[in-house]
């Protein structure tokens, strides 16, 4: 277990500090608790990052339990949409008029950026695992499918209000709503539209992040 390491990206620490400080100031100055949930969202973004870090270390071991590994991947898939999901919280801007809009912009921007960075590190951990056993082309296809599932998960979370753990405690409702999306496509055009929009954003931003990080490490 000594080889299982979780290195928290230093780049997100200032962003999290800003988000925490601004959230506290928002309560102290204006007495508004409406954005405190953002700190919970940041915590949720850490879960897939921690899981992916452990899986990456786990995959490098000479012997590992495949069942535990598959379970870990499954849980990671359920929670990874929480990382980029924070960007959708921008729809709440301006709802509380007592708080200056620019204040909430900085709060949401710092939180969303921290979530995205955690998500990208998490994706990169999983990509390394996949790349170790597959060709670059297969790896690219699998990663695209993962990003598509994340995008669909973001839609389910933002518009149908499902959480990652609903698959365990409310699975019938989750399955029913997903089935309705694909069985009645004409009535759920927004599901395809927003999933595609999230997908394009994640693909482009992840490639940009990965390229800049690879350049820095060369």
DSSP letters for 109-164: HHHHHHHHHHHHHHHHHHHHHHHTTS-HHHHHHHHHHHHHHHHHHHHHHHHS---T
Query: Whole-number mean pLDDT of the chain?
Result: 91
- For residue 79, tell me if it sits in a domain: yes
pLDDT digits over 60-109, tens only?
A: 776 667 888 889 999 999 999 999 999 999 999 988 889 999 999 999 99
- For residue 3, tell me if it sits in a domain: no
Average pLDDT over residues 7-18: 91
Cα–Cα distance for residue pair 59/132, rounded to 1 Å = 9
Residue of 63 and 120 predicted with greater confidence: 120
Residues sharing a CB contact under 8 Å with residue 196, sequence separation 6 or more, in sequence order: 151
pLDDT digits over 14-59, tens only?
A: 999 999 999 999 999 999 999 999 999 999 999 999 999 999 988 8
Supply the DSSP symbol for 170.
S
Cα–Cα distance for residue pair 91/87, rounded to 1 Å = 9
Residue-level pLDDT at 215: 60
Average pLDDT over residues 114-121: 96
- For residue 1, tell me if it sits in a domain: no
Residue-level pLDDT at 213: 81
Q: What is the pTM of this model?
A: 0.91
Residues sharing a CB contact under 8 Å with residue 158, sequence separation 6 or more, in sequence order: 85, 88, 91, 194
Cα–Cα distance for residue pair 100/93, rounded to 1 Å = 10
H-state helical runs in the chain: 13-30, 37-59, 66-79, 82-85, 101-131, 136-159, 166-169, 171-183, 189-217
- For residue 53, tell me if it sits in a domain: yes
Supply the DSSP symbol for 199.
H
Cα–Cα distance for residue pair 137/120, rounded to 1 Å = 20
- For residue 151, tell me if it sits in a domain: yes
- For residue 4, tell me if it sits in a domain: no
Give the domain range for residue 69. 10-217
Q: Count how many domains the chain has.
A: 1
């Amino acid at each position: 277990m000594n080889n299982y390491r979780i290195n928290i990206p230093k780049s997100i620490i200032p962003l999290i500090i800003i988000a925490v400080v601004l959230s506290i100031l928002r309560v102290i100055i204006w007495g508004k608790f409406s954005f405190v949930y953002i700190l919970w969202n940041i915590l949720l973004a850490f879960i897939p990052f921690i899981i992916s870090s452990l899986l990456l270390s786990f995959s490098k071991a000479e012997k590992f339990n495949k069942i535990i590994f598959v379970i870990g991947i499954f849980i990671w898939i359920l929670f990874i949409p929480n990382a980029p999901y924070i960007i959708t919280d921008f729809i709440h801007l301006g709802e509380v008029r007592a708080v200056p809009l620019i204040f909430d912009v900085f709060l949401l921007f710092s939180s969303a950026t921290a979530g995205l960075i955690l998500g990208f590190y998490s994706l990169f951990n999983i990509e390394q695992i996949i790349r170790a056993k597959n060709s670059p082309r297969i790896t690219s296809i699998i990663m695209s499918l993962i990003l598509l599932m994340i995008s669909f998960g973001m839609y389910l979370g933002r518009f149908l209000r499902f959480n990652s753990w609903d698959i365990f405690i409310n699975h019938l409702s989750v399955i029913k709503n997903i089935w309705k999306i694909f069985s009645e496509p004409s009535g759920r055009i927004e599901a395809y539209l927003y999933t595609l929009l999230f997908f394009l954003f994640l693909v482009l931003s992840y490639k940009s992040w990965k390229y800049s990080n690879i350049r820095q490490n060369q």
